[in-house]
Structure 1
């Protein structure tokens, strides 16, 4: 895949460093099922319920980013992302599940699958035990991966796929703007802490491991979704 959205220098480096793990995430069978419409609705709803619970913890992790920030700009981006998650992205899950008679109360109370627990606690631990860059490296695969997937599927998905609303949410201009804003913020944060050539810094391999591990956990999340079929 050559048509990759530009979400900044840091993302490009982390994406390349993740290698085949990144491709396994963004071109997973679950994703391709969204594109051609063959994904069973039962699997999609199972994923949405779990993703709603995931976003609760993901929002908490971004709120932790406010605490770990060193600049007002970092604080503003983290706070804006929390607002986008809590007040906008989660509404997609609520409306789609409501059509299938799954209430928001049931979503919030849903028992977490093991893959969900592993991923969300990994991200939160990165922020609690590490610094701002550790947290961003763990958060980035979800933000940028969904942006890349959405941008690709917006161009290639079957016009009659029943998952068009999901695709338009992540492939649309609002979410793409979020990815570019977060990417610029991370670029600034990395340069501020590691210098103009961050890949040469002693800490870089550790951050790459954070990003790649979180990407692998995204693969597990898709696997979990398919298991719900």
Structure 2
């Protein structure tokens, strides 16, 4: 089996928890509270700024031109394409995009971004590639599943369409191919770190949705 098949199977419990989370269940039904979704959109925008930096560092570490282009393009998409999605919802919520971009990251957002940045700085391209994959793959998986059962006239249809889109699926497949190629060249220790990074980032994805659903912030502020 390919490396991605192995880690996808290893993450079966995490994937089930992601799909079963009330954030995604209620988003599919269109019943998710607007307040929770606004909280999510603000934090997701902050996350994507960090994610784009991680992808840019991946481009710098990439071993060949194809990987450089893939990571560079993914960084661009994280900022340009998904910012457009956020802008539409923020406008409906009456939230100033500039205020959203300068908001304080929650513990869940900050922990996820810092974990990936640490890998980008201290570990190999292969481990970094495995770390960024859950953000592609889990969103594509969730978006596709919700699109198949989503309620008609869903307020969150634009979000669903973004991650159920065939172009996003194609980008996910490209990233999986990069990860599998890197894993094929990796030794046992590096493959173990790739697996650990993938699974930890999948856990961070669940925590991110959970934090948004409960609108969690720092419990103690200065």
When normalised by structure 1's length, the TM-score is 0.89
**1:185 maps to 2:178:** yes
**1:213 maps to 2:200:** yes
Which whole-Å CA distance do the structure 2 matches of 1:124 and 1:27 have between them? 29
Structure 1 segment 10-89 matched on structure 2, within 5 A: 10-89=3-82
Structure 2: gaps of 5 or more residues: 217-222
Which whole-Å CA distance do the structure 2 matches of 1:160 and 1:16 have between them? 34
Match of 1:156 among 143, 149, 160: 149
> What is the number of residues matched between the two proteins?
216
By how many angstroms is 1:166 displaced? 0.5
Given that 2:17 and 2:206 are in contact with CA atoms closer than 8 Å, whether structure 1 keeps it comes out as yes
By how many angstroms is 1:78 displaced? 0.4
By how many angstroms is 1:192 displaced? 3.3
By how many angstroms is 1:22 displaced? 2.5
**1:141 maps to 2:134:** yes
Which whole-Å CA distance do the structure 2 matches of 1:102 and 1:30 have between them? 21
Which whole-Å CA distance do the structure 2 matches of 1:97 and 1:202 have between them? 44
User: CA-to-partner distance for each residue in 1:123-146, whole Å, 9 max, x for gaps?
Assistant: 110111101111112111111100
Which whole-Å CA distance do the structure 1 matches of 2:174 and 2:127 have between them? 18
User: CA-to-partner distance for each residue in 1:151-175, whole Å, 9 max, x for gaps?
Assistant: 1111111123211110001001121
By how many angstroms is 1:98 displaced? 1.4
Given that 1:154 and 1:168 are in contact with CA atoms closer than 8 Å, whether structure 2 keeps it comes out as yes
Given that 2:147 and 2:160 are in contact with CA atoms closer than 8 Å, whether structure 1 keeps it comes out as yes
**1:96 maps to 2:83:** no
By how many angstroms is 1:120 displaced? 0.5
Structure 1: gaps of 5 or more residues: 1-7, 195-200
Which whole-Å CA distance do the structure 2 matches of 1:113 and 1:202 have between them? 33
When normalised by structure 2's length, the TM-score is 0.92
Secondary structure of residue in 2 paired with 1:111: coil
